[in-house]
């Protein structure tokens, strides 16, 4: 039996993910992956906006990305769409991506280290307003 606690939950969530580095994330987006930013407005204000990302609040993530949901975004085109979830440090994004896989989005994953790793890698931030979806 798995030991209790958030670390065990995180470890379990990550067993089914092929997590991406920031550079692999850039390449995935160029190849058509959907980049989803779940950071809060305050975090985005402090860290900046990711280029090409769609911002979706964690509380509605599954409803917006499930292709069968009446509340999906137009980009939720099928269960085979690659989705890379990003958060501030790469923890809650792992849980979110695992939840998306349970929904049937088998190519959902997240980015190792979150936006902090993106910035440390010297990758550019966007100078455009965020594409926030409600």
* Domain ranges across the chain: 6-133
24-61 pLDDT, tens per residue?
999 999 999 999 999 999 999 999 999 999 999 999 99
Query: Topology of domain 6-133, per CATH?
Result: Oxidized Rhodanese; domain 1 (3.40.250)
Whether the per-residue pLDDT at 3 is higher than 90: the answer is no
**Radius of gyration of the CA atoms of the chain, in A:** 14
Name the pLDDT band for 4 (thresholds 50, 70, 90).
Answer: confident
Q: Among 79, 78, 84, which Cα is nearest to 112's?
A: 84
56-87 pLDDT, tens per residue?
999 999 999 999 999 999 999 999 999 999 99
Q: How far is CA 87 from CA 99, 113, 118, in A?
A: 15, 8, 11
């Amino acid at each position: 039996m798995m030991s209790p606690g958030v670390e065990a939950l995180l470890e379990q969530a990550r067993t089914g993910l092929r997590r991406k580095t920031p550079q692999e994330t850039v390449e995935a987006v160029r190849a058509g992956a959907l980049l989803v930013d779940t950071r809060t407005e305050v975090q985005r204000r402090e860290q900046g906006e990711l280029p090409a990302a769609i911002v979706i609040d964690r509380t509605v993530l599954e409803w917006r990305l499930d292709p069968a949901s009446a509340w999906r975004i137009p980009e939720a085109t099928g269960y085979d769409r690659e989705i890379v979830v990003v958060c501030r440090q790469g923890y809650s994004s792992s849980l979110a991506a695992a939840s998306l896989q349970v929904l049937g989005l088998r190519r959902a994953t997240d980015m190792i280290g979150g936006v902090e790793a993106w910035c440390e890698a010297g990758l550019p931030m966007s100078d455009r307003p965020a594409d926030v979806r409600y």
